[in-house]
Chain A
Amino acid sequence: MTKSKEAVIEIRDLRKVYRIGNEKVVALNKINLTIQKGEICCVLGTSGSGKSTLLNMMAGLEKPSKGTIMIKKSPIEKMNEKKLAKFRQKHIGFIFQSYNLLPALTAVENVSMPLIFRGMPKFKRQHIATKYLDMVGLKDRIRHKPTQMSGGQQQRVGIARAFVGNPEIIFADEPTGNLDTKTSIEVMHIMWKMAREKDQTIVIVTHDPEVALYADKVIHIRDGDIQSIEIRDEDDVLEKYIKPYEETYAND
């Protein structure tokens, strides 16, 4: 499989220091990282390693102390709140650990939210949202509220919501953190399939090595520094994890 080598995320000399009282805590020391278009990338580390901080800064939720983050050639650390909001709306999808669905809304309404913010008329977004719910296997649950769904189902709604606007980059913050192993595999499988289909870039932050098995690139992070970057063969992932899974479930 040939892939266009185009950098979507470029991080240079990124440093983040938190100030807690009089003490300085270095969350990220000096990060240099490039993520290519279409890559499924996993940031793996224990809690407190700084992996979440890295993700938050890539998503523009936190400002770095030093360094630059270029996403699609735009320096996002220089953007103000308003520009960031616009940027996120256009280019970024987000999957949360605790799903963060709006409890008052049904599945289809939750998935529609990013489209609502774009000002898309109802009939159109309803159609698209239903399509994405179908893709995550929840076609029969579109009118359900989050409280009427299991964790795995809620996360699948979350995934549909992240993908529905067809963003170039999707950030996932411990997407399987609240799920059991079987459901985790299910969720990872869906994310993998959807991202591959449209050549979208995913950055997953996790502490779970099993999640990292699905990634093309695994970034090991520890105490604010990148320890190693492991490049894996895509076809290997497909053969080893995706196909066997599909075969098991084809029998269901």
Chain B
Amino acid sequence: MNSLDLALMGIKNLLRRKARTILTVLGVMIGTASIVVMVSLGLGMDRAFEQQLESYGSLTLIDIYNNMMYEMSGDGSSSEGQLYLNDDAIAQIEAMDHVEFAIGFKRFDSKIYSGKYESYTNVKGVDFDKLALMGIDLSQGTMPSKEGQYEALFGFQVSQNFYDPNSRTPYMNPPQIDIFESKIELLPTSQYFEGRRPRGYVLNPTGITSEDDWNYAWDIFMDYETFEKLKADFDRKNRTNSDTQNGGSRRKEEDKNQYDEMKVSVDEVDNVQEVQQQIKDMGFEAYSLTDALENMNQTSSLIQMILGGIGGVSLFVAAIGITNTMVMSIYERTKEIGVMKVIGAQLKDIKRLFLFEAAMLGLIGGSFGIGISYGISLVINKLVSGMGGEMGYMGASILSYIPAWLALAGLGFATMIGLIAGYYPAVRATKLSALEAIRTE
């Protein structure tokens, strides 16, 4: 018996008993939907968490700091094995597999002035060529370049931090300063100036970072070399004013530690932990958002299993429903099966026919179940985003997420369940005595 005829016969048989077929399909549908929706909640949780992490920064970045323990023990007696965040380290890390680039940052405590207002701020010295690779989102303007005079990228919170030092309540009413329109002067020192301050360096802000990314909110980025020159120039002009109390030792330290922190960009999220471990093995402190992700994944896969299990119970019940339907169908069709056997049906034809019908019940139930799941998922997400919108928190996030693989897996699983549930009835049908079957009047 060829497969097409078998399929047609099976479908006809299902259509003949519409009510029972529909009820059985309904059971499978509910079972599939409950599994898929449950798992989708788990996946949605994962996604929401990932999105949240991404708002803290890119998942493919590793932050590197110098290991403080080394510095404390290495009190000048032996600098062998002492690690420093410098261009050598960058070159070393960039040589690793999966590493796209490494970038160093040096913090300089500085002050900026705009008219009568002033603000303490961190200037981060960084190689602008590499900063461009970071793909920082901007809300306004463009990325700075090395070519222009004192070009700088501003964190979006920087303009909020100005205050009037002469006011009695300096922090009460932060001024609205448009950094593109105002003249912004920089002093590369955090020193407090009584009376007249020295002349600063006029910055040329080219862009403001995006409000979605709090990573760089309070920073001003300047090109490392440009800033070094600027600072050297400033120190030369204002030698008397500069802090020289422990300048000797600090200068030495700075020479060794070219950067305060480094960021390493890795090609894919999956490789982050591996690269991070290599960096740790070098002796640096390394952190990434995937640390949290690892933990989260463990918890969420547990939750997903529990949720899936709850959904699984209803699919199990549906499977029993399929078996029941097929067994009933055998009783009903005893005679028909017997006649088929006598007029030339092979045992495997009968087995395949029953398996096919059971699998169809699973498949049809499964596909309706997937449809329903998408509907439920839509409703859940609508409700949640509606609530989230009012609270102004995580507006775009979702609670239930059904990727294509989940839909397909659900469909496959339902069909499989149908096949398994249909196996016993199918074997039973083949074992029916043809004679008994014909005698049934």
Chain A residues, Cβ within 8 Å of B1 = 116-119
Measured in the bound complex, the distance between the Cα atoms of B18 and A104 in whole Å is: 13
With an 8 A cutoff between CB atoms, is A86 at the interface?
yes
Contact of A85 among B9, B13, B336, B341 (CB under 8 A): B341
Q: Are A117 and B346 in contact (CB under 8 A)?
A: yes
Measured in the bound complex, the distance between the Cα atoms of B438 and A27 in whole Å is: 19
Chain B residues, Cβ within 8 Å of A114 = 343-344
Q: What is the distance, in angstroms, from B329's C-beta to the closest C-beta of chain A?
A: 13
Q: Are A61 and B344 in contact (CB under 8 A)?
A: no
Q: Are A89 and B346 in contact (CB under 8 A)?
A: yes
Count of chain A to chain B residue pairs whose CB atoms are closer than 8 Å in the complex: 65
A153-168: contact bitstring with B at CB < 8 Å (1 yes, 0 no)?
Answer: 0000000011001000
Contact of B343 among A62, A119, A122, A161 (CB under 8 A): A161
Measured in the bound complex, the distance between the Cα atoms of B343 and A165 in whole Å is: 10
With an 8 A cutoff between CB atoms, is B80 at the interface?
no
Q: Are A86 and B346 in contact (CB under 8 A)?
A: yes
Enumerate B338-352 residues with CB–CB distance to A below 8 Å: 339-347, 349
CB within 8 Å for A62 and B435 given contacts A113-B344, A117-B1, A117-B345: yes
With an 8 A cutoff between CB atoms, is B16 at the interface?
yes
Chain B residues, Cβ within 8 Å of A88 = 341-344
Contact of B342 among A59, A81, A104, A116 (CB under 8 A): A59
Beta-carbon nearest neighbor of B333 in chain A: A102
Q: Are B339 and A89 in contact (CB under 8 A)?
A: no
Chain B residues, Cβ within 8 Å of A161 = 343
Number of A positions contacting B (CB below 8 A): 28
Contact of B438 among A96, A116, A118 (CB under 8 A): A96
A186-226: contact bitstring with B at CB < 8 Å (1 yes, 0 no)?
Answer: 00000000000000000000000000000000000000000
Q: What is the distance, in angstroms, from A184's C-beta to the closest C-beta of chain B?
A: 20
Q: Are B347 and A81 in contact (CB under 8 A)?
A: yes
Q: Are A117 and B344 in contact (CB under 8 A)?
A: yes
Measured in the bound complex, the distance between the Cα atoms of B296 and A218 in whole Å is: 86
Measured in the bound complex, the distance between the Cα atoms of B5 and A7 in whole Å is: 37
Beta-carbon nearest neighbor of A80 in chain B: B347
With an 8 A cutoff between CB atoms, is A94 at the interface?
yes
Number of B positions contacting A (CB below 8 A): 25
Enumerate B394-441 residues with CB–CB distance to A below 8 Å: 430, 433-435, 438, 441
Q: What is the distance, in angstroms, from B12's C-beta to the closest C-beta of chain A?
A: 6
Beta-carbon nearest neighbor of B2 in chain A: A119
Chain A residues, Cβ within 8 Å of B347 = 81-82, 85
Contact of A56 among B5, B346, B435 (CB under 8 A): B435
Q: Are B441 and A85 in contact (CB under 8 A)?
A: no
Q: What is the distance, in angstroms, from A168's C-beta to the closest C-beta of chain B?
A: 14
Chain A residues, Cβ within 8 Å of B9 = 116
Q: What is the distance, in angstroms, from A211's C-beta to the closest C-beta of chain B?
A: 20
With an 8 A cutoff between CB atoms, is B335 at the interface?
yes
Measured in the bound complex, the distance between the Cα atoms of B347 and A85 in whole Å is: 7
Contact of B339 among A59, A62, A81, A100 (CB under 8 A): A100
Q: Are B343 and A61 in contact (CB under 8 A)?
A: no
Q: Are B342 and A117 in contact (CB under 8 A)?
A: no
Contact of B346 among A62, A85, A121 (CB under 8 A): A85
Chain B residues, Cβ within 8 Å of A162 = 343
Enumerate B9-33 residues with CB–CB distance to A below 8 Å: 9, 12-13, 16
With an 8 A cutoff between CB atoms, is A32 at the interface?
no
Measured in the bound complex, the distance between the Cα atoms of B346 and A85 in whole Å is: 5
Chain B residues, Cβ within 8 Å of A117 = 1, 340, 343-346, 349
Enumerate A90-136 residues with CB–CB distance to B below 8 Å: 93-94, 96, 98, 100, 102, 104, 113-114, 116-119, 121-122
Measured in the bound complex, the distance between the Cα atoms of B124 and A125 in whole Å is: 84
Q: What is the distance, in angstroms, from B338's C-beta to the closest C-beta of chain A?
A: 8
Beta-carbon nearest neighbor of A86 in chain B: B346
Chain A residues, Cβ within 8 Å of B349 = 117
Measured in the bound complex, the distance between the Cα atoms of B342 and A161 in whole Å is: 12
Measured in the bound complex, the distance between the Cα atoms of B16 and A102 in whole Å is: 12
Measured in the bound complex, the distance between the Cα atoms of B343 and A100 in whole Å is: 10
Measured in the bound complex, the distance between the Cα atoms of B352 and A119 in whole Å is: 14
Measured in the bound complex, the distance between the Cα atoms of B2 and A121 in whole Å is: 8
Measured in the bound complex, the distance between the Cα atoms of B345 and A114 in whole Å is: 7
Chain B residues, Cβ within 8 Å of A165 = 344
Q: What is the distance, in angstroms, from B330's C-beta to the closest C-beta of chain A?
A: 15
Enumerate A2-44 residues with CB–CB distance to B below 8 Å: none
Measured in the bound complex, the distance between the Cα atoms of B85 and A176 in whole Å is: 103
Q: What is the distance, in angstroms, from B382's C-beta to the closest C-beta of chain A?
A: 45
Q: What is the distance, in angstroms, from B130's C-beta to the closest C-beta of chain A?
A: 69
Enumerate B301-345 residues with CB–CB distance to A below 8 Å: 335-336, 339-345
Q: What is the distance, in angstroms, from B22's C-beta to the closest C-beta of chain A?
A: 18
Chain A residues, Cβ within 8 Å of B340 = 102, 113, 117
Chain B residues, Cβ within 8 Å of A121 = 2
Measured in the bound complex, the distance between the Cα atoms of B5 and A86 in whole Å is: 19
Chain B residues, Cβ within 8 Å of A100 = 335, 339, 438
Q: Are A116 and B339 in contact (CB under 8 A)?
A: no
Beta-carbon nearest neighbor of B350 in chain A: A85
Measured in the bound complex, the distance between the Cα atoms of B343 and A121 in whole Å is: 18
Q: Are B2 and A61 in contact (CB under 8 A)?
A: no
Chain B residues, Cβ within 8 Å of A98 = 441
CB within 8 Å for A102 and B345 given contacts A116-B1, A119-B2: no
Q: Are B339 and A102 in contact (CB under 8 A)?
A: yes
Q: Are A113 and B441 in contact (CB under 8 A)?
A: no
Measured in the bound complex, the distance between the Cα atoms of B342 and A165 in whole Å is: 13
Which of B1, B342, B349 has the most CB atoms of chain A within a 10 A radius of its CB?
Answer: B342
Chain A residues, Cβ within 8 Å of B343 = 88, 93-94, 113-114, 117, 161-162
Listed A/B pairs (11) with beta-carbon separation below 8 Å? A61-B434, A61-B435, A85-B347, A89-B345, A94-B343, A102-B339, A104-B12, A113-B340, A117-B343, A117-B346, A122-B5
| Complex A-B, nearest 7 residue pairs according to Cβ-Cβ distance, in ascending order | A89-B344, A61-B435, A117-B344, A114-B344, A100-B339, A119-B2, A94-B342
B binding-site residues for A, Cβ under 8 Å: 1-2, 5, 9, 12-13, 16, 335-336, 339-347, 349, 430, 433-435, 438, 441
Question: A85-B341, A100-B339 known; 4 other A-B pairs, CB under 8 Å?
Answer: A85-B344, A94-B343, A117-B346, A162-B343
